C-alpha cells in the first residue's frame, strides 16, 4: 500500500500552512490530464437525445446517476458501452443507494450491510474503469422548502429554515427530530471515522478516488442531526486527516458553500485554494444562489451573489484537473435541456477565458 499522508503536515494545515503529501513511486489512483473537464449529468437510461445534446454542446464527459436495482456491475458496463459508442466518456456513475446513507451517518440498523454495499460499489466502478465517485455524509437528506422563482419567473429550489424538510431518493425527513432524538457531534464524527477507515483501503486497492460533497445546506443542525463535519472548512481538514488516505478528497459544491456563507469558515475561493494546495480538490459543482442561509433560492449561474468568474479563474490558477458540472439549474421555458444549455454555455465561456488568461501569464 502507498504510504499515507503525513499527519504532522495535516496539523500544519490546521494552523493555516500548506499540506505536503508523502511522495511515493506508486500511486493508488491515476493522475488526470491538465485542464478543467466539463460534464453533463443524465439519468441511467441514457437517452439518445441527451448524448446528441452533449456532443452539440462540445462536451467530452457525462456523469450518470443510478440507483435501486440499476446500480449493478452489468448496468455499469452497459452505461459505459453506450456512452463510449457515442464518442463520449463516462467520468462518474453515481449510486443513489450509497450516496446519503442514514444507516451509516447515524449508526442505524443495517449500517454494516450498507458499508459492504459501498465497498462493492467501489469495486464495480473500478471494474468498468471509473476512477472517481462522489459521496455525501448527510443523515437526513438535502433540505429544501417549496420551490420559489428566480430571474424571469424561473422555478428553482429554495430553502427557508422555518419550513424546510429533508429529501433523498424518495425519503422525506420532517419534524423537529427526524430520527426521534438529538444526535451529538461526537456521534457523527465517530460514525464517519468508522466508515471512512473501512472504505478508504478498498478505494486505494481498486484505484478509485472518493470526493466528499458538503452538507446541503450547511446549517449547523437540522432535525436533531448535527452537520458538524462537511459544513465548514476546518471540519473537512479534520475529516481528511482522519481518512489519512490519498484516495479521499473533496467534491466542492460552490452552491452549497455559498449557501453557508460565513458559517463555512472560508469563502469558496479560499476553500478552493486550500483544498487544491492539499491536492484534494477533485470535483466542482458550479452553481450560484441568491444569498446565504437562513433563506436562499438557487439561481442562474450569472445571477446570484457568488462571483462565478472569480471562482472559475481560481480553478484555472490552481491547475484544477477534475470534472466540473452545472449541478442544479432553474427551469427555463422549453424542455429540461434549455436550462442546462444556458448554464453550461455560460460556464464553458468562463472556463475557456480563465484557462486562456492563465496560459498567457505562464507563457
Mean pLDDT of 326-352: 95
Residue 4 has pLDDT above 80, yes or no: no
* pLDDT for 361: 85
Mean pLDDT of the chain: 92
Q: How confident is the model at residue 362 (pLDDT cuts 50, 70, 90)?
A: confident
* pLDDT for 146: 97
End-to-end CA distance of the chain: 38
Residue 24 has pLDDT above 50, yes or no: no
Grid cell 450498507 is found at 114
* pLDDT for 97: 97
Give 224-237 pLDDT, tens digit per residue. Answer: 999 999 999 999 99
Q: How far apart are CA 335 and CA 286, in angstroms?
A: 21
Give 98-108 pLDDT, tens digit per residue. Answer: 999 999 999 99
* pLDDT for 28: 78
CA distances from 292 to 140, 142, 255, 264, 358 (A): 21, 16, 10, 11, 30
DSSP class of residue 346?
Answer: H
pTM score, whole prediction = 0.91
CA distances from 234 to 123, 137, 155 (A): 30, 16, 34
Q: What fold is seen in the domain 31-362?
A: TIM Barrel (3.20.20)
* pLDDT for 142: 97
Respond yes or no on whether the N-terminal peptide bond of residue 138 is cis (omega within 30° of 0).
no
Q: How far apart are CA 147 and CA 173, in angstroms?
A: 17
Q: How confident is the model at residue 8 (pLDDT cuts 50, 70, 90)?
A: very low
What is the Cβ-side half-sphere exposure of residue 31, based on CA atoms within 13 angstroms? 7
Copy the grid coordinates of residue 21: 503529501
Mean pLDDT of 141-153: 97
Amino acid at each position: 500500500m502507498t504510504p499515507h499522508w503525513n499527519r504532522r503536515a495535516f496539523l500544519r494545515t490546521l494552523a493555516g500552512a500548506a499540506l505536503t503529501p508523502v511522495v511515493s513511486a506508486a500511486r493508488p489512483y491515476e493522475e488526470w490530464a491538465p485542464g478543467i473537464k466539463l460534464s453533463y449529468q443524465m439519468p441511467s437510461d441514457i437517452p439518445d437525445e441527451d448524448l446528441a445534446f452533449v456532443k452539440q454542446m462540445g462536451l467530452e464527459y457525462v456523469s450518470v446517476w443510478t440507483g435501486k436495482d440499476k446500480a449493478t456491475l452489468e448496468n455499469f458496463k452497459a452505461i459505459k458501452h453506450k456512452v463510449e459508442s457515442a464518442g463520449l466518456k463516462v467520468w462518474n456513475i453515481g449510486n443513489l443507494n450509497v450516496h446519503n446513507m442514514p444507516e451509516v451517518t447515524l449508526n442505524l440498523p443495517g449500517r454494516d450491510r450498507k458499508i459492504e454495499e459501498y465497498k462493492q460499489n467501489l469495486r464495480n466502478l473500478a471494474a468498468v474503469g471509473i476512477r472517481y465517485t462522489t459521496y455525501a455524509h448527510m443523515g437526513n437528506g438535502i433540505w429544501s422548502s417549496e420551490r420559489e422563482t428566480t430571474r424571469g419567473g424561473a422555478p428553482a429550489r429554495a430553502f427557508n429554515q422555518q419550513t424546510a424538510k429533508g429529501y433523498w431518493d424518495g425519503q422525506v425527513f420532517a419534524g423537529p427530530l427526524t430520527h426521534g432524538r438529538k444526535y451529538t457531534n461526537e456521534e457523527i464524527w465517530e460514525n464517519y471515522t468508522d466508515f471512512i477507515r473501512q472504505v478508504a483501503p478498498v478505494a486505494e486497492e481498486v484505484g478509485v478516488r472518493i470526493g466528499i460533497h458538503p452538507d446541503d445546506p450547511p446549517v449547523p443542525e437540522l432535525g436533531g442531526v448535527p452537520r458538524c463535519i462537511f459544513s465548514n472548512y476546518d471540519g473537512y481538514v479534520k475529516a481528511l486527516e482522519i481518512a489519512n488516505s490519498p484516495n479521499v478528497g473533496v467534491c466542492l459544491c460552490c452552491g452549497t458553500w455559498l449557501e453557508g456563507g460565513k458559517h463555512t469558515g472560508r469563502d469558496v475561493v479560499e476553500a478552493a485554494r486550500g483544498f487544491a494546495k492539499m491536492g484534494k480538490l477533485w470535483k466542482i459543482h458550479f452553481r450560484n444562489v441568491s444569498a446565504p442561509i437562513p433563506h436562499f433560492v438557487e439561481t442562474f449561474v450569472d445571477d446570484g451573489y457568488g462571483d462565478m468568474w472569480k471562482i472559475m479563474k481560481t480553478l484555472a490558477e490552481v491547475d484544477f484537473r477534475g470534472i466540473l458540472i452545472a449541478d442544479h439549474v432553474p427551469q427555463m421555458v422549453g424542455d429540461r435541456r434549455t436550462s442546462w444549455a444556458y448554464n453550461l454555455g455560460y460556464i464553458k465561456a468562463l472556463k475557456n477565458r480563465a484557462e486562456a488568461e492563465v496560459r498567457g501569464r505562464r507563457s
